[in-house]
């Protein structure tokens, strides 16, 4: 069953170019739109190094990502120096040299209902 959930979530997240990142922590509740690339179940974001989002993630790695088609709850991590090559073309975006690369590992994906209110399905990827 978990294999089906992983494949379904990978399909939902594929071709993501931008997301709204929501964090909370010492800097308060913050929301901002950032460039994004999905590689399998991992999402990579470019977040400006001066952003209070990074400060919040240091204290509370739980984040929410939102697009028009889905909402994701996950854990944010700043990859080691060896891993940025995984983000591919994202690091070639204008202004990328001023940004930190953030990886989000999804715990739950909620697919939104097209043309309607609410969620169509919820995909749990990590057991509690």
The CATH number of whichever domain residue 12 belongs to comes to 2.30.110.10
| Residues 25, 21, 127: CA angle, nearest 5 degrees | 80
Indicate the pLDDT class of residue 9, thresholds 50, 70 and 90. very high
Q: What does each C-alpha distance from 86 to 4, 37, 72 come to in angstroms?
A: 24, 10, 21
18: which 2 tokens?
A: 């931008």
User: In this predicted structure, what is the pLDDT of residue 88?
Assistant: 66
**Total structural domains within the chain:** 1
* Nearest-angstrom CA–CA distance, 87 and 44: 6
Reported as a single tens digit per residue, the pLDDT across 99-121 is 999 999 999 999 988 876 777 89
CA diameter of the chain: 43
Q: Is 36 left (phi over 0), alpha (psi -120 to 50) or beta?
A: beta
Supply the range of the domain harboring residue 81: 2-124
Q: 95-106 burial, b if ≥16 CB within 10 A, otherwise e? A: ebeebbbbbbeb
Lowest mean pLDDT among 24-33, 104-113, 118-127: 118-127
Closest CA to 16 of 95, 70, 96, 86: 70
**Is 20's pLDDT higher than 70?**
yes
**Is 98's pLDDT higher than 70?**
yes
Global pTM reads 0.88
């Amino acid at each position: 069953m978990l294999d089906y959930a992983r494949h379904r979530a990978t399909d939902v997240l594929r071709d993501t170019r931008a997301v709204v990142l929501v964090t909370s922590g010492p800097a308060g509740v913050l929301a901002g739109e950032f460039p994004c690339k999905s590689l399998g179940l991992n999402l990579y974001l470019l977040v400006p190094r001066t952003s209070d989002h990074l400060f919040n993630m240091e204290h509370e790695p739980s984040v929410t990502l939102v697009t028009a088609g889905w909402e994701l709850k996950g854990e944010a991590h700043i990859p080691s120096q060896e891993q940025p090559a995984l983000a591919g073309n994202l690091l070639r975006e204008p202004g990328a040299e001023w940004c930190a690369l953030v990886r989000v590992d999804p715990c739950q994906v909620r697919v939104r209902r097209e043309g309607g209110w609410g969620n169509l399905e919820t995909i749990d990827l990590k057991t509690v």
